[in-house]
Every structure is written in structure tokens, then in C-alpha cells.
Amino acid sequence: MCPHCRQDALLVYRCVVPYCTACGKVRIPLTSRSVNLAGKPASVGGTVSYVFGWIVLGSGLGLALLLGALFSLITPTAGLAVGGALGIVFLTLGLVLVLGGRKLQKSGAADQRDVQTAAVFALAGHRGGVLTALDVAQAAGMKEEEADALLTNLAKTQPDKCTLEVDEHGAIFYRFQNAPWDADPRFRVGTNARVAPAVVDAEIIDDIEHAVRSSRSAR
């Protein structure tokens, strides 16, 4: 828990300095998980395993064919035995590395998404339950497009906790339920605000975002 904002917030490292993802103040290193480091070891390890697996498959099967051909000069049976045995070994090892690498990559991506989601909810609690993609991007050290995709996914998959809303000026923001209601005055919804329903089909949220962004681009 952050000693400054009392939120169960994660860390974001900028260079080597850890900051709270909720209040943005400096924290003690290693006192919580990091948003920008979560899932990275698994993702990197998975990528290495995946690439090495394909190398093993390609070079190993090529070697098996070569040795099989050489031994077949002695007897066809020897060539088939040696080439087949080596082919099975390299095929098994390569598939284990490739499939294991893909599993590690997915595990790393899921871990990163879970940590980012936890950071978003902590930030929402500190900001009065109202966030924009820019708020999340600045707090969690993400690109604004990534933050927008994360928030949109939350609005689609957890509509009971997060809803997409559009204010009278056409700005998209996200309102979180059960957060302290000292909301940012920029996003006190007026009578002309459009709100994504609490239970909504994902296509409706996509349509709202597309319509708002199209109207803003046309200005």
C-alpha cells in the first residue's frame, strides 16, 4: 500500500526511480509489483524459447535427413533408423520449445494485463472514479493507444465496474463504480452527456468510440 495515497497501488519505474501509479509520488523500490516490468521475463523467455524451438526444428530435421542419407549409403535400413530416430528427437524437442514459448508469451501477456488492470482501479480510486486514456498512460508509463485499448476492454468485459461515457464536448472518459465520488470536475456529466449502458454489447462501445473520434477528426 502506498504510504502517501493509502491506495493498494503498484509501482511504475521511470529510469530507475519507482513512482506510485495512483498518486505519482516516489515510493520505496521493490515494495510492490511494477506495471512496466510485469510479465516481461515470461514474455522475453517465451520469445527466446519460441525462436530457438524453430531453429531446433529446422536445423535438427535437416541434420537428421543428412545423416539418414549418409547412413543409407551403407544400408537403407541403417539410414532409416538413424534418420528416423534423430528426426523424432529433434521434432519432439523443437515442438516442446515452440509450444512452451507460446505458452510463456501468453502467460506474460496475461500477467501484464492483470497488473495494468489493478493499476487502473487503484488510479480510479485516487482520481474519484473518473479516468481518461491519457490519465492512465501518464500514470502507468503506457502509450495512450494502449491505455485506451485497456480501458475499452474493461468497459466491454466488466461493465458493472467500468462504463464508457462521452461528455458534452465529445471527450471520451471512463467512470468506475464503487470509487470515492470526489470526481474530477472536468468530467461532471452534464445533461447532454452520452453514457454507455451498464450492460452493453461490445459493438455499442465500439460504435460510440468510432462516432466520437470521427466527429472530432472532422472538426
Q: Which of 154, 151, 144, 142 is nearest to 36 (CA)?
A: 142
Whose grid coordinates read 472518459? 173
pTM over 0.85: no
The answer to whether the CB of 129 falls within 8 A of the CB of 180 is yes
Q: Where do the structural domains in the chain lie, given as residue ranges?
A: 1-126, 128-219
153 vs 112: CA distance, rounded Å? 14
Burial 148-180 (b: 16+ CB within 10 A, else e): bebbbebbbeebebbbbbbbeeeebbbbbeebe
Give 162's DSSP letter: E
pLDDT of residue 207: 56
Q: Which of 157, 204, 195, 203 is nearest to 174 (CA)?
A: 195
Find the angle CA(42)-CA(46)-CA(48) to the nearest 5 degrees: 120
Burial 31-61 (b: 16+ CB within 10 A, else e): ebebbbebbeebbebbeebbeebeebbeebb
Query: What tens digit of pLDDT does each residue of 69-87 get?
Result: 888 888 888 888 888 999 9
Query: What tens digit of pLDDT does each residue of 31-54 get?
Result: 788 887 788 888 889 999 999 999
Say if domain 128-219 classifies as CATH 1.10.10.
yes
138 vs 21: CA distance, rounded Å? 9
User: What nine digits make up the cell of 40?
Assistant: 516481461
Write the CB contacts of 159 (distance below 8 Å, at least 6 apart in sequence): 196, 197, 198, 199, 200
Query: What tens digit of pLDDT does each residue of 104-134 get?
Result: 989 888 888 888 888 888 888 888 888 888 9
Query: What tens digit of pLDDT does each residue of 171-216 get?
Result: 888 988 765 434 444 444 333 444 444 444 555 556 555 555 655 5
